[in-house]
């Protein structure tokens, strides 16, 4: 069977689904190619997903524009009202704090579970006009002057003016386009799990930097619950994943006992380790192809901005396509060049910042340790600089 569509989105994650919804609502004919999902959210009827996102205002506005934000289960969303970042010097501990009031916003971010987000998106896709869903594996991609043609593993073909690769860090679409990548492992894993905290978190997200133990983040969940994202060196991560969660809670007490009290693992107990890498493609577009999300960039999770960058890609791509000249089709080179230019600065800044901070705080050298903690204290006392930092994090 041969099919045609204006746009073909390849990927079964939240970024690809939002792209399909947004472009379809803009009046374009969209086909979403999603292999039958092997993703299984770490959530039971009584449990909490291990994978959560700190969605900023760009993400919030994009989800609201496609009418998905209000479809999320609000009882499972926690607003972040403040953020407290701590350094690693016992003698002169660095400290940096942000709050929604000073930033003149209702919330700095919202903690949303992966399952909550994808369930709302899947429901929206079922009822969305202008969208066709294909559950098949893409097998090959070819491009000519007017179309990109995707051949499925079942022999079917789909011709489109534009193919959007939203298929993750190991992107098949990117590989089909022979786009080279800069790649390296951080030799770290993000250890993720959830706890009950004895004291209310009051909507505060906490983060600690340690040269020897990595970056520890405790993010607020609804009620007296927190989500742990510990970016730990490989050897430590192996230990954290092997030992009981009660032992992990005991390790965390040295960081958070004063602010959150005793931590107790949430039932059903679960923990997961995710390898951390740096990935930067040499380009985020090719002939009749645009990359979004992790297919276009992978950043260190210390700032919690990976999903936000992906939603920023989608927002920019939709704006570029909707705003193109009437005589242009959405896959023309000049249209895609505008998208690439629109995303270049944000992606470069976030990758450089997170990669640089990881290098800075991974160095176990006392003069450098003192300097970075003094630097955090200095920034905390400079309201103008703090406002600039938080404005960028909010996506405004």
Q: Identify whether residues 201 and 269 lie together within a single domain.
A: yes
Per-residue pLDDT, 374: 74
Per-residue pLDDT, 385: 67
Per-residue pLDDT tens digits for 234-247: 999 999 999 999 99
Judged by DSSP in three states, 336 sits in helix
- Whose CA is closest to 20, among 235, 134, 190, 164? 164
Class of residue 241 by CB neighbours under 10 A (exposed 0-12, middle 13-18, buried 19+) = middle
Q: Identify whether residues 217 and 353 lie together within a single domain.
A: no
CATH number at residue 150: 3.50.50.60
Judged by DSSP in three states, 291 sits in strand
Per-residue pLDDT, 45: 45
Q: Identify whether residues 372 and 254 lie together within a single domain.
A: yes
Average pLDDT, the chain: 91
Q: Identify whether residues 291 and 235 lie together within a single domain.
A: no
Q: Identify whether residues 216 and 329 lie together within a single domain.
A: no
Q: Identify whether residues 125 and 268 lie together within a single domain.
A: no
Q: Residue 16 in contact with residue 164, Cβ under 8 Å?
A: yes
How large a percentage of the chain has pLDDT more than 90? Answer: 79
Higher pLDDT, residue 118 or 43? 118
pLDDT above 60 (res 4): yes
Q: Identify whether residues 167 and 255 lie together within a single domain.
A: no
DSSP states of 183-208 as a string?
EEEEEEEEEEEEEEESS--TTEEEEE
Q: Identify whether residues 296 and 379 lie together within a single domain.
A: no
Average pLDDT over residues 194-216: 95
Return the minimum-mean-pLDDT range out of 165-174, 294-303, 355-364: 355-364
Distance of CA 235 to the CA centre of its chain: 25
Q: Which two tokens stand for residue 156?
A: 């079917």
pLDDT above 60 (res 318): yes
Q: 173 pLDDT band (50/70/90 cuts)?
A: very high
Per-residue pLDDT, 301: 93
Per-residue pLDDT, 372: 74
How large a percentage of the chain has pLDDT more than 70? Answer: 91
CA distances from 192 to 7, 240, 287 (A): 36, 10, 38
Per-residue pLDDT, 366: 66
Average pLDDT over residues 24-49: 74
Per-residue pLDDT, 36: 54
Q: 39 pLDDT band (50/70/90 cuts)?
A: very low
Per-residue pLDDT tens digits for 324-365: 998 999 999 999 999 999 999 999 999 998 998 888 878 776
Which residues is 239 bridged to in the sheet?
none
Return the minimum-mean-pLDDT range out of 10-24, 82-96, 159-173: 82-96
pLDDT above 50 (res 155): yes
Q: Identify whether residues 120 and 109 lie together within a single domain.
A: no
Rg of the chain (C-alpha set): 22
Enumerate residues 6+ apart whose C-beta is below 8 A from 378: none
CATH number at residue 70: 3.30.9.10
Provide the residue range defining the domain that includes 9.
2-39+46-58+115-182+277-357
Per-residue pLDDT tens digits for 42-70: 444 458 999 999 999 999 999 999 999 99
For the chain, what's the residue count?
A: 396
Q: Identify whether residues 271 and 281 lie together within a single domain.
A: no
Per-residue pLDDT tens digits for 373-385: 777 677 666 776 6
pTM of the model: 0.92
Q: Identify whether residues 241 and 138 lie together within a single domain.
A: no
Q: Identify whether residues 120 and 34 lie together within a single domain.
A: yes
Q: Which two tokens stand for residue 220?
A: 């607020």
Per-residue pLDDT, 94: 80
Q: Residue 361 in contact with residue 209, Cβ under 8 Å?
A: yes
Per-residue pLDDT, 96: 86
Which residues is 165 bridged to in the sheet?
10, 291
Q: Domain tally for the chain?
A: 2
């Amino acid at each position: 069977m041969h099919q045609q569509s204006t746009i073909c989105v390849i990927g079964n994650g939240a970024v690809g689904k939002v792209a399909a919804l947004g472009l379809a609502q803009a009046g374009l004919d969209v086909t979403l190619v999603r292999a039958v999902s092997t993703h299984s959210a770490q959530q039971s009827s009584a449990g909490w997903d291990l994978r959560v996102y700190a969605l900023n205002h760009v993400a919030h506005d994009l989800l609201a524009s496609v009418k998905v934000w209000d479809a999320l289960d609000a009882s499972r969303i926690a607003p972040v009202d403040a953020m407290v970042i701590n350094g690693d010097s016992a003698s002169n501990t660095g400290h940096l704090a942000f709050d929604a009031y000073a930033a003149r916003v209702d919330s700095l971010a919202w903690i949303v579970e992966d399952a909550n987000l994808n369930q709302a998106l899947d429901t929206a896709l079922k009822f969305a006009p202008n969208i066709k869903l294909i559950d098949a594996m893409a097998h090959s991609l070819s491009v000519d002057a007017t179309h990109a043609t995707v051949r499925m593993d079942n022999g079917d073909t789909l011709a489109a003016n534009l193919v959007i690769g939203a298929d993750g860090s190991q992107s098949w679409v990117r590989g089909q386009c022979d786009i080279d990548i800069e790649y390296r492992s951080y030799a770290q894993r993000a250890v993720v799990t959830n706890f009950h905290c004895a004291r209310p978190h009051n909507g505060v997200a906490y983060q600690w930097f340690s040269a020897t133990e990595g970056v520890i983040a405790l993010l607020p969940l609804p009620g007296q619950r927190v989500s742990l994202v510990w970016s730990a060196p490989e050897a430590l991560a192996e230990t954290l994943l092997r030992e009981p969660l009660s032992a992990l809670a005991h390790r965390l007490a040295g960081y958070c006992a004063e602010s959150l009290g005793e931590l107790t693992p949430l039932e059903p107990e679960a923990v997961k380790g995710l390898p951390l890498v740096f990935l930067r493609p040499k380009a985020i577009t090719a002939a009749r192809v645009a990359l979004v999300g992790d297919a276009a960039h992978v950043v260190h999770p210390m700032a919690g901005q990976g999903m936000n960058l992906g939603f920023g890609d989608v927002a920019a791509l939709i704006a570029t396509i909707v705003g193109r000249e009437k005589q242009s089709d959405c896959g023309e080179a000049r249209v895609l060049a505008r998208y690439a230019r629109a995303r270049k600065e944000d992606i470069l800044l976030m990758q450089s910042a997170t990669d640089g901070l990881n290098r800075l705080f991974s160095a176990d050298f006392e003069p450098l340790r003192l300097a970075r903690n003094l630097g955090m204290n200095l920034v905390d006392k400079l309201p103008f600089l703090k406002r600039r930092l938080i404005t960028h994090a909010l996506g405004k």
